[in-house]
Chains A and B, each alone.
Chain A
Amino acid sequence: MKTLLILGAGTGGTMVANKMSKCLDSREWRIIIVDKDETHYYQPGFLFIPFGIYSPSDVVKPKRKFLPGGVEIIFSDIELVEPERNRVRLGGGKEINYDYLVVATGSHTHPEQTPGLTDAWHQNVFDFYTLEGATNLGSYLETWKGGRMVLSITEMPIKCPVAPLEFLFLADWYFHKRGMRDKVEIVLATPLPGAFTKPQASAMLGGMLERKGISVEPEFAIMEVDNGKQVIRSYDEREVPYDLLVSIPLNMGADVIRNSGMGDELGFIPTHKNTLQTVKWPNVFIIGDAGNVPSSKAGSVAHFMLDILVENLSDHMKGREMKASFDGHANCFIETGFDKGLLIDFNFDVEPLPGQFPFPVIGPFSLLKESTLDHIGKMGFRWIYWNVLLKGLPIPFVESHMSMSGKKMLSKAPARA
């Protein structure tokens, strides 16, 4: 018997377990998946909790429900990975030897990495990248009388790089709805030169921030939170005052990856961006946020990685050349407030472009342009996530590789960022 071991049963790990259990001969292969947490969190739903749109019960389900029979599930802390020895150590001293390893341990927030950030943690300083943070922020906002709300992005990369913008758009809507928008100043402090990482989308989203009266403090590399003075301070000595601070803390790969010496300076595993095989260990692959692949860290990206990963893994197991190539495809609905949304679709080489998706002219979704349907798409993503994505099933009409169909080419290509 050979062993395929999957570390992490979040978005990526669950999909791999589902798909590989169909591909591998169970007389020859044993599939084991390990996670420390029995609860699956629908992380995209965290965004809606501070504004009372979702409640915590809307975003959690038991992990077991999404994992196929025939896959051995172990709920335990993973303590150490020893890729040189093809071995993983779990809590309680249990060891598992593997023939192939898929790492899907994700990306996690680290507020303790920014001096002062945890001083008033969940008092008037919050995150919304954890269920606890999103829930506490929701309670705080219910009674908040207004003031200056600053959203601070600590450092890139972060998972779901559009989530901070969606948070700002929804906050604008929420305070309007509560009849207190005039009592709230909304500010984005970001290490990026503008609203987003890709030029066209950045210009478009930047314009939307401006129209909604949200100001931007660009190229702000946060050094510390001064809770006494209620300011955040950058390395170049700029100060941004706040009454309410919402932070996207530093994102890092899982602790176990760093402790095992497998990660880069942020604990993301060096990975070949096209094959999804790790650079150092031929029998170790990644899916989702755990690698250093220069694509967005998002559930949709993990979904597009899946087919590529499964094909390459199967070929490698059979001693064949790996032919499938990941193109960095990402597809993100962006909630923009007031029941509108917009959609961006891009990859390593092509930035988000305007047009229609997935079909030219008829869409039905609009690319890089606000529409009610894109909002419905965003809200429908939760259903897709639980019922299609996690099962490793294809999303109808949406291919793993990005398609140029329906996209409007720019007459003049902007300089590549």
Chain B
Amino acid sequence: MADATLASVSFDAEGYMTDPNQWSKEISETLARQEGLAALTAEHWKIIDFCRQTGLASGKAPTLRQITTGTGISTKDLFALFPKGPAKKVAKIAGLGKPEGCV
């Protein structure tokens, strides 16, 4: 994590930000690059914004189904935008904690 934008940001052992208030758009862009995404498009931002809104309100990162229901974006498209585990990937990029593995 040599990137300057991340210098003062704290992360947990799995790379999730521990304080969502430290978040900024630049941080999202940097984290997205680390996650292997070339660039964040308007579609990506629609999802990130949704996750930040619901995540900050409820205190936890939304599940895959909450994202698809809330944004109207299909699961298939979500996987195309954030390949391999979109719920976790968006949570990471949006500066939220790891989505709770359901019990």
Q: How far is the CB of A334 from chain B (nearest CB, A)?
A: 15
A175-209 CB mask vs B (1 if < 8 Å, else 0) is 00000000000000000110001100000000000
Query: Are the C-beta atoms of B65 and A155 separated by less than 8 Å?
Result: yes
Query: Are the C-beta atoms of B75 and A197 separated by less than 8 Å?
Result: no
Q: How far is the CB of A122 from chain B (nearest CB, A)?
A: 26
Query: Are the C-beta atoms of B66 and A157 separated by less than 8 Å?
Result: no
Chain B residues 66 to 90 lying within 8 A of chain A, measured CB to CB, are 66, 69-70, 75-76, 78-79, 83-85
Closest chain B residue to A297 by CB distance?
B103
Query: Which of B69, B70, B103 interacts with A157 by CB under 8 Å?
Result: B103
* Residues of the B chain whose Cβ atoms lie less than 8 Å from the Cβ of A265: 65-66, 69-70
* Residues of the B chain whose Cβ atoms lie less than 8 Å from the Cβ of A415: 12-14
B84-103 CB mask vs A (1 if < 8 Å, else 0) is 11000000000000101111
Q: A296-B103, A417-B98, A417-B100 are in contact. Are A223 and B76 (CB under 8 A)?
A: yes
Query: Are the C-beta atoms of A156 and B13 separated by less than 8 Å?
Result: no
Chain B residues 17 to 45 lying within 8 A of chain A, measured CB to CB, are none
Is the CB of A235 closer than 8 A to any CB of chain B?
A: yes
Is the CB of A266 closer than 8 A to any CB of chain B?
A: yes
Chain A residues 135 to 178 lying within 8 A of chain B, measured CB to CB, are 155-157, 161
Q: How far is the CB of A175 from chain B (nearest CB, A)?
A: 30
Q: How far is the CB of B59 from chain A (nearest CB, A)?
A: 12
Q: A219-B85, A221-B64, A265-B69 are in contact. Are A294 and B100 (CB under 8 A)?
A: yes
Closest chain A residue to B77 by CB distance?
A235
Closest chain A residue to B80 by CB distance?
A235
- Candidate in B66, B78, B79, B98 with the most chain A CB atoms within 10 angstroms: B79
Q: How far is the CA of A192 from the CA of B78 in the complex (A)?
A: 18
Q: How far is the CA of A294 from the CA of B58 in the complex (A)?
A: 13
Chain A residues 100 to 141 lying within 8 A of chain B, measured CB to CB, are none
Q: A221-B75, A235-B79, A236-B83 are in contact. Are A192 and B103 (CB under 8 A)?
A: no
Query: Are the C-beta atoms of B102 and A156 separated by less than 8 Å?
Result: yes
Q: How many A-B residue pairs have CB under 8 A?
A: 48
Query: Are the C-beta atoms of A236 and B79 separated by less than 8 Å?
Result: yes
Q: How far is the CA of A197 from the CA of B79 in the complex (A)?
A: 22
Q: How far is the CA of A156 from the CA of B99 in the complex (A)?
A: 12
Query: Which of B14, B76, B98 interacts with A235 by CB under 8 Å?
Result: B76
Q: A221-B64, A223-B75, A417-B98 are in contact. Are A236 and B103 (CB under 8 A)?
A: no
* Residues of the B chain whose Cβ atoms lie less than 8 Å from the Cβ of A193: 101
Q: How far is the CB of B99 from chain A (nearest CB, A)?
A: 10
Chain A residues 199 to 257 lying within 8 A of chain B, measured CB to CB, are 219, 221, 223, 235-236
* Residues of the B chain whose Cβ atoms lie less than 8 Å from the Cβ of A235: 75-76, 78-79
Query: Are the C-beta atoms of B103 and A197 separated by less than 8 Å?
Result: yes
| Interface CB pairs A-B, < 8 A, 11 | A155-B65, A157-B102, A192-B101, A197-B101, A221-B79, A223-B75, A236-B79, A236-B84, A264-B66, A265-B65, A265-B69
Q: A157-B103, A235-B78, A265-B65 are in contact. List 13 more A-B contacts (CB 8 A).
A: A155-B64, A156-B102, A192-B101, A193-B101, A235-B75, A235-B76, A265-B66, A265-B70, A266-B65, A294-B103, A295-B103, A415-B13, A417-B101
Report which A residues bind B (CB closer than 8 A). Answer: 155-157, 161, 192-193, 197-198, 219, 221, 223, 235-236, 264-266, 294-296, 330, 415, 417
